[in-house]
Amino acid sequence: MIRMKATSRFDRKKVRRRAAEGSFRSLGHAGAALRLTARRSIRRSGMPSRPGQPPHTRRGQLKRALRYAVDKSRERVLIGPAYTVVGRSAAAHEFGGRYRRDIYPKRPFMGPALMKIRSRLPRMWADSIRP
């Protein structure tokens, strides 16, 4: 009879580092996908869009203002319009409200974009940790 004993070594720090790297990369992919989906939903047109539909933009400023950034220390991604480019007008479109004395109906573009890609999100983390 032959007896065999197998042992394996496991470096916890290395596993945690690889998991953090994979998560960081996946967060970046998720942020980019959401930004692109939201950006594609905004159309250029001189006429306003119907309430409940993504907003129209005359000069394309809102489309160009969408940014994303991955926060490595907190393991999160921030996606949305840059305040320095479009100010509070993007919030007025997304949630409805007042902006420059005008009342804006809800014309969400970030929320529906997230709902559109949410089925793809788990696949972005699949196989993110490589040996």
The pLDDT tens digits for 76-96 are: 898 888 887 777 887 877 888
Q: Name the packing angle between helices 12-41 and 110-117 (round to 10°).
A: 120
According to the model, what pLDDT value does residue 131 have? Answer: 67
Name the amino acid, one letter, at 100: R
Q: What tokens were used for 107? A: 């014309």
Look-up of token digits 């993007």: 90
| Short-list 78, 46, 49, 74, CA closest to 60 | 46
Residues of the chain with pLDDT under 70: 1, 131
**In sequence order, what are the residues at sequence separation of 6 or more whose Cβ sits closer than 8 angstroms to the Cβ of residue 23?**
75, 125, 128
pTM of the prediction?
Answer: 0.77
